[in-house]
A and B are shown apart, each in its own frame.
Chain A
Amino acid sequence: MYKLLLFIAAVLIAPQISFGAVVYDVGYGGSSINFVAGTITNATPYSGSPITFPLSSSWVTVTSPIDTLRIHRLSGASCSDLLGGGSLASNAAGTGMVLSGHYIDSVATVSDGGTGDYCDFHFHSSPFTGGNVAHLYLNNKTVTLEGAVSNGYVNSPSNYTVSSGAPAFQLCDSGTCGTFTTPSDGIVTPNEPTPNSVYLYNPVPFNGTYNNGIDNFYNLVQVQATSTALTLPLTFQYFLATSTGSSLTYSITDYNLPVEGMYGYQIRLMDTINSVQTPWVYGGSFGLATTTTATIDEYVTPVATTCSTFDFFCHLKKFGIWALFPSEGLINSYTSLLETIQSKPPIGYFTIVKNSITGLNASSTPEVEIVIPTQLKTIFFDPIDVALGSILWAAFAFLFYKRLKHITI
Chain B
Amino acid sequence: MIWSWLFQFFISVLNLLVGLLPVVTDTSGFGASLVTAGHYIAVPYQFVPIITVTLLLIIAFDITFETAYLLYKAIYWVIRRFPTQS
Interface of A with B (CB < 8 Å)? 322-327, 329-330, 333-334, 336-337, 340-341, 343-345, 348-349, 351-353, 355-357, 359-362, 364-368, 370, 372, 377, 381, 384-386, 388-389, 392-393, 396, 407
Interface size on B, residues (CB 8 A): 39
B75-86 Cβ-contact flags toward A at 8 Å (1 or 0): 000000000000
Contact of B47 among A324, A341, A348, A372 (CB under 8 A): A372
Interface of B with A (CB < 8 Å)? 1-4, 7-8, 11-12, 14-15, 18-19, 21-24, 26, 30-31, 34-35, 38-43, 45-51, 54-55, 58, 60, 69
A355 to B1, CA, bound (A): 36
* SS of B interface (majority): helix
A385 to B54, CA, bound (A): 10
A187 to B64, CA, bound (A): 59
A386 to B48, CA, bound (A): 9
Residue numbers in A under 8 Å from B8 (CB-CB): 329-330, 333
Question: Taking the nearest CB of chain A, how far is it from the CB of B22, in angstroms?
Answer: 7
Question: Taking the nearest CB of chain B, how far is it from the CB of A392, in angstroms?
Answer: 5
15 CB-based A-B contacts, threshold 8 Å: A329-B8, A337-B11, A345-B21, A349-B24, A352-B24, A365-B39, A367-B39, A368-B43, A377-B47, A385-B49, A389-B50, A392-B51, A392-B54, A392-B58, A396-B58
Contact B35 A356 (CB under 8 A): yes
Residue numbers in A under 8 Å from B30 (CB-CB): 352-353, 356
Residue numbers in B under 8 Å from A329 (CB-CB): 4, 8
A344 with B18, Cβ < 8 A, contacts A366-B39, A366-B46 known: yes
A4 to B14, CA, bound (A): 73
Contact A326 B3 (CB under 8 A): yes
Question: Taking the nearest CB of chain B, how far is it from the CB of A328, in angstroms?
Answer: 10
Question: Taking the nearest CB of chain A, how far is it from the CB of B50, in angstroms?
Answer: 4
Contact of B23 among A336, A344, A372 (CB under 8 A): A344
Residue numbers in B under 8 Å from A370 (CB-CB): 43, 46-47
Question: Taking the nearest CB of chain A, how far is it from the CB of B21, in angstroms?
Answer: 4
Residue numbers in A under 8 Å from B60 (CB-CB): 357
Contact B31 A356 (CB under 8 A): yes
